């Protein structure tokens, strides 16, 4: 039995090409250093990652009642851009990346850990400060204190992964254990808001955009459940974003969020309903924070989002964003066809499994040729979609056992309409869709010396002049040269 393995990469991005093959960083070097008696800084390759403030902090000019500890600030994007704020004058109690509740009820008494009213978080001891080539970990025990009385044991465990492809992932595990009496947590019910729990307050910035798995937010929201949320903006002249993913093991998942365009993201737990935590039965919350560096403000770097139909495994949304202008490209789900070049038969999916949480990222399919010799057998297809530096990378991995034969992969992407333009680096250059609703440039990867026609790069761009945006679809550089053929049909779809 022979085996045929083909690997095709398709990179989708906006205004720039996100390569399908990204070189990993050399072994990362993390290090901790004491900034002063109250703060510890983590660096990677000598560049700052964040500062953990374990001592009691008070900014000059801030009221004494807001003195606090146990939070991260500043937090940096991989390019050094400062993403968080501390002691902002509109909310003195906001503090970088922090975890706190506005209502902490113990017996008949109500305290405010959020705005630091009658209860404080204080450092107790270090559990770990571990800097390894492949990760860094900081773990600390804090306490919630009413005066000198400790009422809750708090364990903060943070794991930092090396930056790569202009992004960094930080994992948080927060554990809260009441000591002598039960505690009740909530946000103020009369306000109908969902703040309280895990929170990020953002540094001053311009062109703020908040998005979730449902798309870009037009206004602030409360109590709406989401699996993740992301804020993107221009900080200190550079575009960057922060995304928070709430772990599926968290109670109340998906949690209701507090999302504010003035610069705040918070997956609220438990919201305005009092939730009791018993002594000896800790509350554990887990979150993943991803920090993105997206280049200079004027570079045109953007974000891209997608959705997969979980029943069919078909890509049914590609949405790009530059500044505050989202652009949805697909007018119908994309389709993939695999044609046997020997039998001319089409292989159709018979089994589909979609994996991934808030952003589906993997599809496993079994494809069967509808007719033809049995020796061609079933084909397994694994698709992986991932965001790389603002672009979408779509990896297709085909495997089959049986007689060797060639296959043609056809992707049908319904992204065209009248008013758009198509660019290929060929003799055609820029083509108006309204004037040429159906067209076929010379294929990339075929010799054209005898015709005088050529196609110099394996890419094609769809341009929207009114929105001043474009979607570029390309093959990344690989060791082999694939033949890329572009067919535009009836002002509607691409066949690649």
Got the DSSP string for 274-321? -EEE-TTS-EEEEEEEEEEEEEETTS---EEEEEE-TTT--EEEEEEE
Q: Is pLDDT at 436 greater than 70 in this prediction?
A: yes
Asked whether residue 444 is assigned to any structural domain, the reply reads: yes
Are residues 459 and 381 part of one domain? yes
Q: What's the rounded mean pLDDT across residues 183-199? A: 90
* 66-93: b (≥16 Cβ within 10 Å) or e: bebbbbbbbbbbbbebbbbbbbbeebbb
> Tokens 């009791």, residue?
276
Are residues 282 and 362 part of one domain? no
Per residue in 68-125, pLDDT (tens digit) is 999 999 999 999 999 999 999 999 999 999 999 999 999 999 999 999 999 999 999 9
Cis peptide before 73 (omega within 30 of 0): no
Are residues 247 and 153 part of one domain? yes
Distance CA 93, CA 66 (A): 6
In 337-466, which residue ranges form alpha helices assigned H by DSSP?
none
> Tokens 């309409």, residue?
417
Q: Is pLDDT at 330 greater than 70 in this prediction?
A: yes
Residue 311: the pLDDT is 73
CB atoms within 10 A of CB 284: 15
Q: What's the rounded mean pLDDT across residues 15-19? A: 28
Residue 335: the pLDDT is 82
Beta-strand runs (E) in 35-94 = 39-44, 47-53, 71-75
Distance CA 320, CA 56 (A): 42
Distance CA 465, CA 78 (A): 32
Residue in 117, 324, 82 with CA at minimum distance from that of residue 201:
82
| Domain range for 180 | 30-296
Q: Is pLDDT at 62 greater than 50 in this prediction?
A: yes
Are residues 320 and 220 part of one domain? no
For 195, the token pair is 């703040």
431, with CB counted inside 10 A (0-12, 13-18, 19+), is: middle
Are residues 460 and 433 part of one domain? yes
Domain endpoint, select from 296, 330, 355: 296
CATH number of the domain that residue 283 is part of: 2.70.98
481 pLDDT band, cuts 50/70/90, is: low
Q: Is pLDDT at 19 greater than 50 in this prediction?
A: no
Residue in 409, 427, 421, 410 with CA at minimum distance from that of residue 491:
421
Residue 17: the pLDDT is 31
Per residue in 263-283, pLDDT (tens digit) is 999 999 999 999 999 999 999
Share of the chain above pLDDT 70, in %: 79
How many domains in the chain?
A: 2
Domain endpoint, select from 296, 321, 356: 296
Q: Is pLDDT at 411 greater than 90 in this prediction?
A: no
Are residues 228 and 126 part of one domain? yes
Are residues 401 and 281 part of one domain? no
Are residues 184 and 153 part of one domain? yes
Distance CA 300, CA 383 (A): 28
End-to-end CA distance of the chain: 31
Residue 388: the pLDDT is 60
CB atoms within 10 A of CB 1: 7
Q: What's the rounded mean pLDDT across residues 18-44? A: 73
Per residue in 205-214, pLDDT (tens digit) is 998 999 988 8
Asked whether residue 25 is assigned to any structural domain, the reply reads: no
Q: What's the rounded mean pLDDT across residues 193-201? A: 93
Q: What is the pTM of this model?
A: 0.65
Are residues 236 and 324 part of one domain? no
Distance CA 29, CA 451 (A): 54
By residue count, the chain amounts to 496
Are residues 489 and 420 part of one domain? yes
Residue in 75, 72, 42 with CA at minimum distance from that of residue 54:
72
**CA dihedral sign, ordered 482, 355, 257, 224:** positive
* Cβ–Cβ < 8 Å for 53, 142: no
Asked whether residue 59 is assigned to any structural domain, the reply reads: yes
Are residues 429 and 352 part of one domain? yes
> Tokens 């503090």, residue?
95
């Amino acid at each position: 039995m022979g085996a045929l393995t083909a690997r095709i990469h398709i990179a989708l991005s906006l205004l720039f090409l996100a390569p399908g093959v990204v070189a990993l960083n050399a072994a990362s070097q993390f290090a901790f250093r004491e900034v002063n008696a109250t703060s510890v800084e983590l660096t990677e390759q000598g560049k700052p990652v964040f500062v953990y403030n374990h001592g009691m902090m008070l900014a000059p000019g801030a009221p004494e009642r807001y003195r606090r500890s146990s939070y991260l600030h500043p937090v940096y994007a991989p390019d050094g851009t400062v993403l968080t704020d501390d002691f902002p004058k509109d909310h003195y109690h906001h503090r970088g990346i922090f975890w706190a509740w506005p209502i902490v009820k113990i017996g008949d008494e109500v305290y405010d850990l959020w705005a630091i009213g009658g209860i404080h978080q204080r450092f107790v001891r270090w559990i770990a400060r571990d800097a390894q080539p492949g990760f860094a970990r900081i773990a600390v025990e804090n306490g919630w204190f009413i005066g000198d009385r400790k009422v809750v044991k708090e364990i903060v465990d943070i794991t930092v992964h090396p930056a790569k492809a202009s992004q960094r992932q930080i994992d948080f595990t927060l554990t809260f254990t009441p000591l002598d009496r039960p505690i009740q947590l909530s946000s103020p019910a009369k306000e109908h808001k969902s703040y309280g729990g895990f929170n990020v307050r953002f540094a001053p910035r311009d062109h703020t955009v908040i998005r979730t798995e449902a798309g870009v937010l037009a206004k602030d929201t409360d109590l709406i459940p989401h699996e993740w949320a992301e804020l993107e903006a221009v900080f200190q002249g550079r575009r960057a974003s922060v995304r928070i993913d709430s772990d599926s093991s968290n109670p109340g998942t998906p949690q209701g969020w507090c999302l504010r365009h003035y610069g705040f993201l918070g997956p609220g737990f438990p919201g305005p309903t009092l939730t009791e935590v018993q002594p000896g039965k800790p509350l554990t919350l887990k979150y993943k924070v991803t920090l993105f560096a997206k280049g200079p403000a004027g570079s045109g770097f953007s974000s891209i989002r997608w959705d997969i139909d979980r029943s069919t495994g078909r890509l049914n949304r590609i949405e790009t964003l530059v500044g505050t202008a989202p652009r949805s490209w697909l007018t119908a789900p994309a389709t993939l066809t695999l044609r046997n070049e020997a039998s001319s038969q089409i292989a159709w999916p018979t089994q589909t499994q979609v994996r991934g949480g808030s952003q589906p990222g993997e599809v496993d399919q079994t494809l069967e040729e509808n007719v033809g010799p049995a020796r061609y057998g079933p084909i397994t297809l694994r698709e992986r979609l991932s965001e790389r530096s603002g672009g979408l990378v779509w990896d297709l991995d085909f495997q089959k056992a049986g007689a060797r034969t060639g296959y043609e992969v056809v992707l049908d992407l319904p992204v065209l309409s009248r008013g758009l333009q198509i660019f290929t680096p060929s003799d055609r250059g820029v083509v108006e869709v309204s004037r040429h609703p159906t067209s076929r440039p010379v294929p990339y990867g075929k010799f054209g010396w005898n015709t005088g026609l050529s196609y110099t790069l394996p890419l094609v761009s769809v341009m929207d002049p009114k929105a001043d945006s474009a979607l570029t679809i390309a093959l990344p550089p690989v060791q082999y040269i694939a033949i890329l053929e572009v067919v535009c049909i009836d002002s509607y779809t691409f066949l690649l």
